[in-house]
Amino acid sequence: MVHAVKKRCYALLCAYDGSNFAGFQRQPPLQTVQGVLEDALAGLGIRTRVEGAGRTDRGVHACRHVVAFRTADPVDPENLPGRLQPLLPTGLAVLGCRLVPWSFHPRYSARQKVYRYRVTVSTVPDEWAQTHAWVLPDPRGFPGLAPPVHLDRAAIERALELCTGVHDFALLAHPSARGKTVRRLSEASLRIFERGGEPLFEFTFRSPGFLRHQIRNLVGMTVSFGLGLVDEAEVLRLLSGEGERWLGARAPGRGLTFLEAEYPPELDPFPAPQPVG
């Protein structure tokens, strides 16, 4: 009698520098995160499809991106990351592996997804800024904007306040974006740091789900508001879903980082360490 081999589901915790990839989704012959993970697993004899918590675009980075795959092949979660790493290109690390319930899906099981976007003001940006932030002034995004550039913090925070909550984000998404356009933006916040004597604006966005290009257009709109190039009435119109879509600056992918997906405790394969004390 031949017994069917039971398939199991495994989750991988990944981090990557998006500068080295043409996005997450497989696009032969381009190097993508999904493509190299599937090829590396195949190199270990595990032929399977990888599904991710988010489909990041070209140049977008990730800190704690959970992916999952299903296989009937024997897998040792403890040593799989170490076996995979030599088969992966520079800029992609597998930080952990867990056996998870069959019903687990890295995208659909998530309650919230959290992204960070960084903007800096510099006339002589270093290598890190050129690959991990939107550097202003930017002649492509804001033709005619010359230094010195002043971003009004209070104005940006006001725009982010308006964006928080339930809105129709159709005008701030890619024209071919799929899914319902009415979404809840649970968090849209700003922190400002100093880096090398220059300001670094760090945006955080949290939502159960984002539309394609939604965050990049939100950043472009709020930065435009902070520069005094659009007014509050225009922000409110764009959030109503009525009229023309946003035709202003779209923040480049390199400033965006997928921070994490938040799961129910009973499904979270990689719970974040809790602070002590």
Same domain, 244 and 142: yes
Neighbours of 237 (CB within 10 A): 16
* pLDDT for the residue 1: 47
79 within a domain of the structure (yes/no): yes
The predicted-structure confidence for 13-39, as pLDDT tens digits, reads as follows 999 999 999 999 999 999 999 999 999
Q: What is the mean pLDDT of residues 188-210?
A: 95
Position 128, amino acid:
W
- The residue whose two tokens read 């005094």 is 228
**CATH for 236:** 3.30.70.660
Judgement on whether residues 97 and 126 belong to the same structural domain of the protein: no
Residue 75: count of CB within 10 angstroms of its CB: 19
In this structure, are 119 and 205 located in the same domain? yes
Quick one: 128 and 217 in the same domain? yes
Q: What is the distance between the alpha carbons of residues 262 and 217, in angstroms, rounded to a whole number?
A: 23
Instruction: Express each pLDDT in 141-182 by its tens digit.
Output: 999 899 999 999 999 999 999 999 999 999 999 998 889 999
Range of the domain at 231: 112-260
Write out pLDDT tens, residues 92-149.
999 999 999 999 999 999 999 999 999 999 989 999 999 999 999 999 999 989 999 9
- d(C-alpha 25, C-alpha 40), whole Å: 15
Q: Alpha helices of the chain — where are they, by DSSP H?
A: 33-43, 80-84, 127-132, 153-163, 214-226, 232-240
Choosing from 17, 57, 152, 268, the catalytic residue is 57
With 70 as the cut, is the pLDDT of residue 198 above it? yes
Residues 120 and 241 in one domain: yes
| Averaged pLDDT score across all residues of the chain | 95
Q: Please tell me whether residue 204 adopts helix, strand or coil conformation.
A: strand
In a domain, 44, yes or no: yes
Q: Are 61 and 256 in contact (CB under 8 A)?
A: yes
Same domain for 104 and 128? no
Considering the domain architecture, whether residues 95 and 231 belong to the same structural domain is answered as no
pLDDT recorded at residue 274: 67
Pair type for strands 256-262 and 134-136: unpaired
Structural domain count, the chain: 2
Q: How far apart are CA 158 and CA 147, in angstroms?
A: 24
Same structural domain for residues 121 and 105?
no
Provide the 10 A C-beta neighbour count for residue 213: 21
- Which of 76, 109, 142 corresponds to the end of one domain? 109
Q: For 5-9, what is the mean pLDDT?
A: 88
Instruction: For tokens 């879903």, name the residue.
Output: 241
Alpha carbon distance 152, 232 (integer Å) = 14
- Provide the pLDDT confidence category of residue 4 given band limits of 50, 70 and 90: low
Per DSSP, what are the bridge partners of residue 121? 136
3-state class percentages of the chain: helix first, strand second, coil last, to nearest 5: 25, 30, 50
**pLDDT over 90 at 66, yes or no:** yes
Looking at the structure, tell me whether residues 58 and 190 fall in a common domain: no
Residue 221 reports pLDDT greater than 60: yes
In the residue annotation, 39 being an active-site residue is answered as no
Q: Are residues 140 and 224 in the same domain?
A: yes
CATH of the domain at 14: 3.30.70.580
Q: Confirm if 124 and 42 have CB atoms less than 8 A apart.
A: no
